[in-house]
Each structure stands twice: as structure tokens, then as C-alpha cells.
Structure 1
Amino acid sequence: MADRRQSLLDAALALVSEGGLDAVTIAALTERSGMSNGSIYHHFGSRAGVFAQLYADSYAGCLTAMVPALDDRPARPVVRDLVLRYVDWVMENPSRARFLYAAPDHADPVAKQAQFAPVMRWFSERMAAGELRTVPPWALEPVALGPVHESVRRYLLGTFDLAAARDLIADTVWAALSP
């Protein structure tokens, strides 16, 4: 059962990579996966259900790559490590990253916030300790991680050398958060 489910998600990701979100139709999923409409509806309920699961899996994979950076080292190397892990995850998983950027409305906001909680907790603790510039929680991602997101967007469009800019991006994020 899990294999069938994963096959459908893999088919959806391949379709998104080839033609964007609009390429993922029930007909295209059945053709790509070799499964019936019934399997799609059984496992996911709808096309939106496929997207929701694909988003959840991709977001979880991204955070799984990043969270090990959050340790007791001084703030600067942790922030840099977190950024570099994110950049590396994107370069290793461009299809998933492209999907995350293309389909943010398919995120479950409660689940996303819960998954991001360890990152927010680490930043909040370091801000409270004066190791990082105090940034309101709502501004952490757009203000501090803005350079990362814009660089990733350009990389996913094929107009930016993300690998060559890794350290510059990490240094820029640190500069935004440095106390």
C-alpha cells in the first residue's frame, strides 16, 4: 500500500518537474503511475490531496536536512550551517524545492508551523540570549532568510549559480542576524 502511495507521489513530482502544477491532472497521474483513478482517490482523496501530501513530504525532507545544524555551537556557525544545509538540500532535491516554491498554498499551516518549531525555538532562544539580532517571529523567514529564498528561486529558474554563492548567501544571512 505504501509503495502505491509513493508511486503516485513520485509520478506527481515528475509531472510538476516537467510541466508545472497544471501538468498534474488525474488523467496524467493515472497514465504516469499506471494506477487507476480509484487508487488516487483512495490514497489522497483528490488532486489537492496529492499536492498536500507532496508538500508535507518535501517540507519534512527539507527540515530533516536542516535541523541537525541546530546545536549548542555559537550562533554564527549554526546560522551559516543551517543556510548551507538548506542550499545543499535544494541542489540535491531541485524537483521538491521547485514544488515547495510553486505550491505554498498546499501547505497545512498548522503542520508547517509545528515542523518549523525547532528552528523557531533555536532562533528565539539565541535572540533572547543576545546572540542574534532580535527579529519578530513573523519576520524571521522573509527578513533573515530572504537572501536564501531569492537565490534559490533564481537557481530553480536556471539563472543563478547557487553552488558558487553558498558562502556568500550564508554570510549575508549571518549579517542580517548578527547582533
Structure 2
Amino acid sequence: MADRRQSLLDAALKLVEEGGLDAVTIAALTERSGMSNGSIYHHFGSRAGVFAQLYADSYGRCVAAMRPALDSRAAGDAVRDLALRYLDWVTENPSRARFLYAAPDHADPAVKQAEFAPVLAWFLSRMESGEMRAVPPWALEPVVMGPAHESVRRFLLGVFDLAEAREIIADAVWAVLKP
């Protein structure tokens, strides 16, 4: 059952990669995956359900790649490492990253919040201890990770080399939080 779901998600991701969100239709999914439209509706309920699950899966993988950075090291080292892990994940998973940036309205806020909870808890504890500047939780993604997000957007458009700038980007992310 899980393999069938993953096969459908892989097919959807490939379709997005080839033709954008509009390329993902139930007909295209059945053709690409070799499964019936009944299987798609059974597993996901709708095209929007496919997108919601693909978003949750991709976001979960992204957060999982960053989470090991959040350990007991000095806050600056951990934050820089988190930014570098994010940039590396994007470089290794451009199709998933492109989907995350193209389809934010398909994110289930509850799923996203649950996935991000350990990261948020780590940041809040470090802010509370004074190891980093206190910023409101809503600011972590747009303000703190802003330099990384803008660099990733440009990378995904093919006009920016993340490998060349990754250390500078990690420094910029830490600069926002440095006490």
C-alpha cells in the first residue's frame, strides 16, 4: 500500500518537474503510474490530495535533513549548519524544492506545524537562554531564513550558484540571530 502511494507521488513529482503543476492531472497520473484513477482517488481523494501529500512528504524530507544540525553545539555553529543542510538538501532535491516553492497553498498547516515543532522548540530554547536574538516564531522562515530562501529561488531559476555562496548564506542567516 505504501509503495503504491509513493509510486503515485513519484509520478506526480515527475509530472511537476516536466510541466509544472498544471501537468498533474488524474489522467496523466494514471498514464504515468500505470494505476487506475480509482487507486488515485482511493489513496488521495483528489488531485488536491495528491498535492497535499506530495507537499507534506517533501517538506518532511527537507526538515529531516536539517534536524541533525540542531544539537548542543554553540548556537552559531548549529544555525550555520542548519542553513548549510537546507541548501544542500535543495541542491540534492531540486524537483522537491521547486515543488515546495511552487505549491505553498497545498501545505496543510497542521502537518507543517507538527513537522517543524522540534525545530521551533530548539530555536525557542536557544532564544530563551540568550544564545541568540529573540525573534517571534513567525519570523523564523521569512526573516531568519530569508537569505537562504531568496538564494534558493534564484538557484531554482538557474541564475545563481548555491555551491559558490553557501558559506556566505549561512553567515547571513546567523547574522540575523546573533545576539
- TM-score, normalised to structure 2's length? 0.98
Quick one: distance in 2 between partners of 1:2 and 1:136?
38
1:158 aligns with 2:154: no
Quick one: distance in 2 between partners of 1:2 and 1:72?
35
Q: CA RMSD in A?
A: 0.8
- TM-score, normalised to structure 1's length? 0.98
Quick one: distance in 1 between partners of 2:112 and 2:5?
21
**Structure 2 letter corresponding to 1:108:** D
1:117-162 deviations in whole A, cap 9, x for unaligned?
Answer: 1111111111111111111111121111100000011111111101
Matched-pair identity in %: 79
1:5 shift after superposition: 1.4
Q: Which residue of 2 aligns with 1:146?
A: 146
Quick one: distance in 2 between partners of 1:135 and 1:74?
18
SS at match of 1:143: helix
Alignment of 1:107-122 (within 5 A): 107-122=107-122
- The number of equivalent residue pairs is 179
**Structure 1 letter corresponding to 2:166:** R
1:47 aligns with 2:47: yes
Quick one: distance in 2 between partners of 1:2 and 1:71?
32
**Runs of 4+ in structure 1 displaced over 6 angstroms?**
none
Which 5+ residue runs of structure 1 have no aligned equivalent? none
1:63-82 deviations in whole A, cap 9, x for unaligned?
Answer: 11110110111001000000
Quick one: distance in 1 between partners of 2:138 and 2:64?
22
**Structure 2 letter corresponding to 1:33:** S
Q: Which residue of 1 aligns with 2:6?
A: 6
1:173 shift after superposition: 0.5
Quick one: distance in 2 between partners of 1:54 and 1:29?
13
Alignment of 1:58-77 (within 5 A): 58-77=58-77
**Structure 2 letter corresponding to 1:43:** H
SS at match of 1:135: coil
Which 5+ residue runs of structure 2 have no aligned equivalent? none
